[in-house]
Structure 1
Amino acid sequence: MLEQSALELVASQGERLPIEAYRRDFRRYRGDVRGRHSWKLERRQDFEEQDASWEAFRHGRWEEALRLLEDEREDLEKAVQRDRERSTAFHRVRVVEEPLTPYLHWELHALRVQAECGKKIRVVGPAQVAAFEAGGPLPEVVVVGDQVLYQVLYTEAGSLDGAVRFLEPGLVRRWGDFIRTLYETGEDVLPFFARSVAHLRPPQTKAE
């Protein structure tokens, strides 16, 4: 069994990237991926997004928020097709705690649309990561093409704050294998959504 210490991320062993540098770096690595997969672990239950649907939701316009998510389908399908042409896929594991936070309620609607367009997304519960969280919640991590690992950083309020990039092959491999294992044991987001989210009333926001 993988030891928790094997997943330790020491900031001084990586390179701190401000937001725009992180975005450029991520796009470069993602654009170069051929024949390899990428993996994302999303652990936090609250974020602040820079997204039109999120803004509509924050201001209490739930139906508009859902419509804006639907408007993204064409772009999502094109992105999935590009990945297929490069023999790659971006796999996402979402840790879900219940009852859902308002953010996570909204995000699961977004993930449903993404999955219906071909994105590979699965859900795990906190029990599936508990053995690795003795020292606190797992970080937000992205592994791109088995080449680079980003520990994605956020402010206390949940806004993106850049990332720390790690290139050490062993560390990148261990995290990739770890997220892959979670993905393999997780539940596809579509049946999870149908069972646990679809029937819920629209969430309340702070603006309301």
Structure 2
Amino acid sequence: MFDSFPGGASERLDRPSYHADLGRVYTSGIGFLNKLERGQHFKERGFPSWEAFADGDWDRALSLAEERREEYAQELRQAARLGVRHRRLRVVEFPITPYVQWELFVLRVRMGLGDDIKVLDARNISNIERTSPVPEVVILGNAVMYEVIYDEDGNAAGANRYTDRPLIQETNAGFDALYERGEGFDDFFNREIAALAPPRVSGAPTFGSQECARSLRAEVPPT
């Protein structure tokens, strides 16, 4: 699974070029979007809920978590108009990192709007990740695949763009297999997240032990 991904040929795009290309392809009749999230530590500068979380103000972070509800709703309405099915799979390591704890509260807002999200315990794919983590990608149908690139401080810096059809199909097949094994978001959230104490945030690293600057969180398509 994902055997060909590490050696796949890609084109590096800066951030404006990535956003422009993604927006163009997204509206071209792709049919579906698959998003696989693997990293456990990220920064979301400019997102007030994340800023509050990073400042240690957990109550305010949660109160602000719904601030993008209308933006998310517009995104999903656009997807429906275009006939694009969204699926997101969030891989979670234990113990759960402060960032992931915060992110799952944000994803709960998306779930409430009808987004299709599952969660996968990283311990259940340890056999797949013997040599490297599963790839962190946004896949637009069988047309284009992006691996978003962040700098060492967690700032989005562009993406690696893949267009090789067999590689994209193989990665989609891997995503499908993992998605089938994923747990429903609400079940996971209610069992593992809802009762957690507020996270302690004090100089947490940008990347986890299994990540590098080339394996980072992919962004959602623009609306």
TM-score calculated relative to the size of structure 1: 0.89
2:6 corresponds to: 8
Matching residue of 2:73: 77
CA RMSD, 1 decimal: 1.9
- Residue 37 (str. 1) matches residue 32 (str. 2): yes
User: In 1, distance between residues paired with 2:40 and 2:29?
Assistant: 29
Structure 2 residue 63 is the aligned partner of structure 1 residue 67: yes
**CA 1:156/1:66 → structure 2, altered by over 3 Å: closer, same or farther?**
same
Counterparts of 1:188 and 1:195 in 2: how far apart (Å)? 11
Query: 1:189 aligns to what?
Result: 185
* Alignment: residue pair count: 203
How far residue 144 of structure 1 moved from its aligned partner, in angstroms, is: 0.8
Which of 85, 89, 96 does residue 93 from structure 1 map onto? 89
* CA deviation string 1:66-101 (max 9, x = no partner): 222212222222221221222212211111011111
Instruction: Name which of 106, 113, 123 aligns with 2:109.
Output: 113
User: C-alpha offsets along residues 168-189 of structure 1, whole Å, 9 cap, x if unaligned?
Assistant: 1000111111112211220121
CA contact (8 A) 1:152 1:164 kept: yes
Check the 8 A contact 1:60/1:207 in 2, yes or no.
no
Q: SS at the partner of 1:69?
A: coil
Residue pair 1:40, 1:141 contacting (<8 A) in 2 also: yes
Q: How far did 1:207 drift?
A: 6.6
Give yes or no for contact 1:59–1:207 (8 Å, CA) kept in 2. Answer: no
Q: Percent identity?
A: 36
Unaligned segments of structure 1, at least 5 residues: none
Report whether the alignment pairs 1:49 with 2:49: no
What is the match of residue 199 of structure 1?
A: 195
TM-score (norm 2): 0.83
- The DSSP-based 3-state class of the residue aligned with 1:127 is helix
SS in 2 for 1:132: coil
Question: Is 1:179 equivalent to 2:175 in the alignment?
Answer: yes
Distance in 2 of aligned mates of 1:45 and 1:117: 24
What is the letter of the counterpart of residue 147 of structure 1?
A
The answer to whether structure 1 residue 168 and structure 2 residue 164 are counterparts is yes
Q: How far off is 1:200 after superposition?
A: 0.9
Letter in structure 2 aligned against 1:74: E
> Aligned in 2, Cα 1:207/1:167: closer, same or farther, shift over 3 Å?
closer
Aligned positions of 1:141-160 closer than 5 A: 141-160=137-156
Question: What stretches of structure 2 of length at least 5 have no aligned partner?
Answer: 205-223
Against the structure 1 CA distance between its residues 128 and 152, is the aligned structure 2 distance closer, same or farther, given a 3 Å change threshold? farther
**In the aligned structure 1, how far is the partner of 2:112 from the partner of 2:7?**
33
